[in-house]
Structure 1
Amino acid sequence: MTVKKLLATLGIWSALAAPALAQTTPGTTQNPNRIDGYGAPVSPSVPVNRAADETTIDIIGGYYRQDGTHGAVEGGRGTEHLTDVPPAIIVNVPLDTVSRLTANVGADFYASASTDRIDFALSTPSAHDTRFHGDFGYSREHKYKGTIWGVGAGVSKEYDYFSVNGTGSFAKTSRDGNRQLSLAGHIFLDQVTLITPIELRTTPTRGKSEYGTDTRQTYNLTATYSQVLTKRLQAAISTELVSQNGLLSTPFHRVYFYDSTTPNPVTSVDAANFSSRVPTAPKTELLPRSRFKYPISLRLNYFATDVVQIRAFYRLYNDNFGITAHTAELELPVKVTPFFVLYPFYRYHTQTAAKYFAPFLQHSISDEFYTSDYDLSDFSANKVGLGLRYSPVYGISRFHVPGQNAAGQPRIMRLKSLDLRYAHYQRSTNLVANIVSFDLGFAL
């Protein structure tokens, strides 16, 4: 469900061969590595150079946990506890010297205490869910012209949400390899089951098929220009134009009004306790059915010495919901040995509130649109962490796999690299999160 805040779309599309960035829906979707509210992309800390003729397999996993006190399910107050385990496998297969296929398949296994409050009960089926996703891409390179084009498609499915997507991209690199312009377009077509809070249903035990559905369409155009400025300094600037239409509200997010006179229905013992504190009835969150977003970002990579690199990132975000956000990130990869890299990082984010946001019991029933989702509130956030990468030139280990290579010799798979990463996130709205993740890189 949307409240779990963990859409992996960005990670999926970055794994495709096309040199593009994907999008998320600020305030309504969230990935454990992207909890800044507006969905800024996080690029790999240490790029991996892969041989053009080898098949690569990345096994990715981790554990994410968050806690907070402003759950949107209960109208801006209540638990935001969430855990998520998101395993995935990314396979990159060269078809020949110029074309590749990429597949990214995985799942999110999550438990969310806040979604229990949809029915004012504990340990209901809504507290646990699994999202399955699969994305597939094809790219082709014209080395003489310095161009790469790619196409891709994917699908994502969970209990109350189904999405299909498609992408196309094009990149042009200069003859000297110092400049590149890349363009990418993305389309996301979503269908959402309209699960509402229990006290607002005509039949409290209503089944999934009786809720009805709504749709959302997202169109994203990204342009990125990168250039090598000096032997030590590289820069990239990118901009995105994102248009969304359809359901942008979350149907099980409650909103309470200070001037409502409608009694709060009582549907269970647990709800009765809550009703005694909130005597008036809520409504479901209501937001406009169109949104336009236009962020722009700058990235700088500076090789200070042979062992120290400085990676800086800044992003300015604006949308027609009234949110303006600034994000700055600094990462310092340090080459401890030729094959071992440590990279501490720090990220700061601040944003203004959407014009439709108000805290618990602060909305008026005369408001045209209303939400108490703190992802759309005014807040600042800090994320700090440490990563390490181990990638010896001949790999960490190697082992035989069934079959033979083109020369008739036994096939050997190598464990090429190991990435480990920890991050701690803290937001001024009392949300705290921690994530541990890993990436095992294999080559065949």
Structure 2
Amino acid sequence: MKKYITFYSIVLLLVSGHIMAQEEEPTEYKKRVLESVEVNLLSSYYTQDGENAAVTGGRGTEELTDIAPSINISIPLNDDDVLTVDATVSAYTSASSSNIDPFDGPQPADPFVASSGASEQDTWFGLTANYAHSSDDRNTIISGNVSFANEYDYSSIGFGGSITKLFNEKNTELQLNVNAYFDSWRPQYPIEFREGFNLSDYSFSGNPNFSSNYTQFQDESRNSYSIGVSLSQILSKSIQTSFIGDVVLQNGLLSTPHQRVYFGDFEDTMVENFTLGNDIERLPDTRTKIALGNRTNFYLNQNFILRTYYRFYTDDWGIDSHTFKAELPIKLGLNYTLYPMYRYYTQTAANDFGEYNTIVSTQEFYTSDYDLAEYDAHQYGIGFKYYDPLNKLNIGGFGLKSINLEYNYYERTTQNFNANITSLSFNFVAN
């Protein structure tokens, strides 16, 4: 279940005069990589609901709302270099996260009811800067990036870079990219596992020794390293295809500390309407992910383009998945495009996944996070784009290049989970 305000001026130096003019070579025109500053403003609104919250061991409300405005600014530093800065703020309210401490609200604790305590809402912030340099012939592009993200329970810093080569009169493109992310957890354990929690302070029923397996994590870091390669080829005037491969290696704390697990061989311990967890999620401290994909676009005629995407994914936790997506942009005149889309996804379950109260306490690893369960998912969407290359509408020295409005409905057919995603973006170009 993540991510646009400066003016920039261009100065041309004209060389004139008669001194040694006969020895000077004529200046060859070189098109700038980016003609002027571009600003993209994006805002998305996301809602979801379901009954398999990982915070409460795969049983409980998954209701969540998220508002995420972001701004992306691309600045041409000269003919060859572009600096891009992206900033996103994500403010969410989560019923499941509120039940990290279900006893901090006025209502009786219940996994299917949101607590009104401090853990109900939070804000995520992310910032990325990318610097790209293109060669004089525009056949080589080298870029580097740095990123930072922070939330209430973790911080992340990332570094990466890529090199892109164009061949065959720019009909063939090969790209290699590498990235590394270094995360630090600030674990927010469920309230019953925290120091100071005393079961005798509550009226309870069941097993008083509800957490005999529990110990805190000693390693609170998580590192991720990825390498990706893509090959794009224009096959004809009407077909373009690209093949994509990615490998991700992770190590460290890959479990989520605030997600509970319930054992089938333990008697439940009830406080009000809430069952106390027997342990927290425990997963292997290494993971290898491999993904192979293809994107192919078919130009059908001047009004229709078919865009297709397929990806196969596998990892050493036991998950295999297939993703298929199709999009059909339909041009409505010179400035408008309507694009319906559909995405299908299916995956197998992770080796260590178990439903509520089915896991055995003697297992080494376990989770009840339904993101790691077996399921099928469908996503239906519609988008509308206004595009004006002449930027006729001007606002504060910027011309409006495009407006994009998109809506998607997502559902998992094997679980009672659904989501709605609406996004709106504006792209401006400095005049």
TM-score norm. by structure 2 comes to 0.84
Does residue 401 of structure 2 align to residue 416 of structure 1?
yes
Letter in 2 for 1:115: S
- Structure 1 residue corresponding to 2:126, chosen from 130, 133, 146: 133
- Structure 1 residue corresponding to 2:97, chosen from 79, 93, 115: 115
| Secondary structure of 2:97's aligned partner | helix
Instruction: Give aligned pairs, total.
Output: 373
| Secondary structure of 1:84's aligned partner | strand
- Structure 2 residue corresponding to 1:148, chosen from 134, 141, 166: 141
Residue equivalent to 2:234: 228
Distance across 1 between alignment mates of 2:256 and 2:132:
36
Letter in 1 for 2:274: F
Residue equivalent to 1:23: none
Does residue 417 of structure 2 align to residue 431 of structure 1?
yes
Residue equivalent to 2:164: 171
- The 1:354/1:425 distance shift into structure 2, 3 A limit, reads same
What is the RMSD of the two structures over their aligned residues, measured on CA atoms?
1.7
- The 1:247/1:212 distance shift into structure 2, 3 A limit, reads closer
Distance across 2 between alignment mates of 1:258 and 1:296:
38
- Structure 1 residue corresponding to 2:318, chosen from 317, 322, 328: 322
Residue equivalent to 1:188: 181
| Secondary structure of 2:371's aligned partner | helix
Residue equivalent to 1:43: none
Could you tell me how far 1:194 is from its partner in structure 2? 1.5
User: Which consecutive residues of structure 1, in runs of 5 or more, have no partner in the other structure?
Assistant: 9-49, 402-411
Larger Rg: 2
Letter in 1 for 2:178: G
CA contact (8 A) 1:322 1:353 kept: yes
- Structure 2 residue corresponding to 1:158, chosen from 139, 148, 151: 151
TM-score norm. by structure 1 comes to 0.81
Distance across 2 between alignment mates of 1:295 and 1:352:
15
Q: Which has the higher helix share?
A: 1
- The 1:51/1:417 distance shift into structure 2, 3 A limit, reads farther
- Structure 1 residue corresponding to 2:334, chosen from 335, 338, 349: 338
Distance across 2 between alignment mates of 1:62 and 1:212:
37
| Secondary structure of 2:51's aligned partner | coil
- Offset from partner CA, 1:139-188 (integer Å, 9 cap, x none): 00003261000001010011111000011100000141100000100101
Does residue 313 of structure 2 align to residue 310 of structure 1?
no
Could you tell me how far 1:202 is from its partner in structure 2? 2.2
- Structure 1 residue corresponding to 2:255, chosen from 249, 263, 280: 249
Distance across 2 between alignment mates of 1:396 and 1:382:
39
Could you tell me how far 1:125 is from its partner in structure 2? 1.0
Distance across 2 between alignment mates of 1:123 and 1:397:
45
User: Which consecutive residues of structure 2, in runs of 5 or more, have no partner in the other structure?
Assistant: 4-31, 104-114, 199-215
Letter in 2 for 1:355: N
Does residue 92 of structure 2 align to residue 82 of structure 1?
no
List aligned pairs for 1:345-356, cutoff 5 A.
345-356=341-352
Residue equivalent to 2:211: none
- Structure 1 residue corresponding to 2:362, chosen from 362, 366, 372: 366
Distance across 2 between alignment mates of 1:324 and 1:77:
24
Could you tell me how far 1:96 is from its partner in structure 2? 0.7
Letter in 1 for 2:255: S
Could you tell me how far 1:393 is from its partner in structure 2? 2.9
| Secondary structure of 1:73's aligned partner | coil
- The 1:227/1:114 distance shift into structure 2, 3 A limit, reads same
Sequence identity percentage: 36
Distance across 2 between alignment mates of 1:340 and 1:356:
48
